């Protein structure tokens, strides 16, 4: 597994319940802002879905990931709703639900390993 994939998993683990991040956002925090597709590939083969909540990652417009991921649109939608995220027409309002990592990390979350 590449170190980029590991960084992706570490970033996604930081996304708190009730929040989402975009593929591009995860790519940027994992160290390569141009690697949104690579984030999707890494999450598609997530080795630890119990601890890496990849269902919290959506596209840049807030749309869910598509039928191929997480067991399908309905599964991702239901997981997000259970998490406290409002999903309307398979889309999340990023203005309301997008993760602010600086705020989360400042509020006591562990720093990402490469930030230390």
Alpha-carbon distance of 66 to 93, in angstroms, equals: 17
Q: What is the pTM of this model?
A: 0.85
What are the structural domain ranges in the chain? 3-97
- The answer, yes or no, to whether residue 115 has pLDDT greater than 80, is no
CA distances, 55 to each of 38, 72, 87, 106 (Å)? 16, 10, 12, 24
| Radius of gyration of the chain measured on its C-alpha atoms | 13
Among 27, 30, 38, 54, the one annotated catalytic: 54
Q: Is 64 a catalytic residue?
A: no
Q: Which CATH class is domain 3-97?
A: mainly alpha
Alpha-carbon distance of 43 to 36, in angstroms, equals: 11
Which residue has better confidence, 68 or 113?
68
**With 0-12 CB in 10 A as exposed, 13-18 as middle and 19+ as buried, what is 43?**
buried
Structure tokens belonging to residue 80: 């997000």
Alpha-carbon distance of 103 to 67, in angstroms, equals: 32
**Span 24-83, pLDDT tens digits:** 999 999 999 999 999 999 998 989 989 999 999 999 999 998 766 667 789 999 999 999
């Amino acid at each position: 597994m590449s170190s980029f994939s590991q960084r992706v998993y570490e970033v996604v683990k930081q996304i708190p319940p009730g929040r989402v991040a975009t593929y591009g956002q995860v790519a940027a925090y994992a160290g390569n802002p141009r690697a949104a597709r690579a984030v999707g590939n890494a999450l598609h083969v997530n080795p630890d879905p119990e601890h890496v909540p990849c269902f919290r990652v959506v596209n840049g417009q807030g749309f869910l990931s598509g039928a191929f991921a997480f067991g399908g649109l309905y599964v991702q939608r239901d997981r997000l709703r259970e998490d406290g995220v409002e999903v309307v027409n398979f889309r999340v309002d990023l203005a309301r639900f997008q993760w602010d990592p600086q705020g989360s990390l400042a509020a006591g979350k562990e720093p990402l390993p490469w930030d230390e």
